[in-house]
Amino acid sequence: MSDTKFPKMHIELDDIIAKALKKIGGKDENDLCRFLPGNSGGYIHHFTLRKMRNNQPSILTDMIQKYIVQNETPGRLNPKQRAPRGSRKKKDILSFSRGDVERLVQIARQVGDSDMLSKLSPKRSLTRLKKELIKSIKLGVVEQDLWKAYTDSIYNYHSPFAIANIPSN
């Protein structure tokens, strides 16, 4: 564009923006955004409006004319549809109530599936496991599941590097 036409375009754009703001009862240019449709649905972002004002004033002028000034009743557009919160969650994961988990634990005990029991049982702290193990020893009861949980907890508590650096006798 020539230098003489460019300032004229901005003056024309300013006039159209003033008319549009008066028509919609807006206070600043950002209020126009909700009446101008965007490419991907909803209304245009205020940054896009600013870019168009500086880089593409003729296109912005045409949009304001079409959707606000020449339109008898310019309508506010709804915002663009966004993904709902938590939409990144995996779809294949089942959710169980506490009662469901307790029933599964009971069924696993009846069948004797220790692997399933360890997966479904709540994780116990190392100190709690120690107390339960000492209590079972005092009672003279051998619980393989408790011993396995204790050894797994010890293994997970210490990093592989710490275990590798323990001197052997």
* pLDDT (tens digit per residue) in 79-137: 888 777 766 666 677 788 888 888 888 898 889 887 887 778 777 888 888 898 899 88
∠ Cα 102 105 111 (to 5°) = 145
Does the pLDDT at position 75 exceed 90?
A: no
Looking at residue 3, what is its pLDDT?
Answer: 47
Examine the fold and report which residue of 50, 69, 88 is the final residue of a domain before the chain moves on: 69
Examine the fold and report which residue of 19, 54, 69 is the final residue of a domain before the chain moves on: 69
Confidence band (pLDDT; 50, 70, 90) for 64? very high
* Stretch among 70-74, 158-162, 165-169 having the lowest mean pLDDT: 165-169
Does the pLDDT at position 51 exceed 90?
A: yes
Closest CA to 57 of 16, 112, 100: 16
121 and 63 in a common domain: no
CA distances from 52 to 2, 10, 103 (A): 18, 11, 62
Residues 6+ apart with CB under 8 A from 23: 68, 69, 74
147 and 109 in a common domain: yes
CA distances from 58 to 28, 38, 47, 74, 87 (A): 20, 16, 17, 20, 39
Q: Is residue 9 part of a domain?
A: yes
Joined together, the tokens standing for residue 106 give 């009971």
Average pLDDT over residues 50-54: 91
Q: Is residue 92 part of a domain?
A: no
Looking at residue 166, what is its pLDDT?
Answer: 54
Q: Is residue 74 part of a domain?
A: no
Average pLDDT over residues 145-166: 69
Q: Is residue 78 part of a domain?
A: no
Backbone angles phi, psi at 43, to 5 degrees: -100, 165
Q: Give the domain extent around 53.
A: 5-69
Examine the fold and report which residue of 18, 51, 69 is the final residue of a domain before the chain moves on: 69
- Our count of domains for the chain comes to 2
pTM as predicted: 0.47
Average pLDDT over residues 50-61: 91
102 and 61 in a common domain: no
Q: Is residue 88 part of a domain?
A: no
Does the pLDDT at position 31 exceed 80?
A: yes
Does the pLDDT at position 165 exceed 60?
A: no
| Count, residues in the chain | 169
Q: Is residue 61 part of a domain?
A: yes
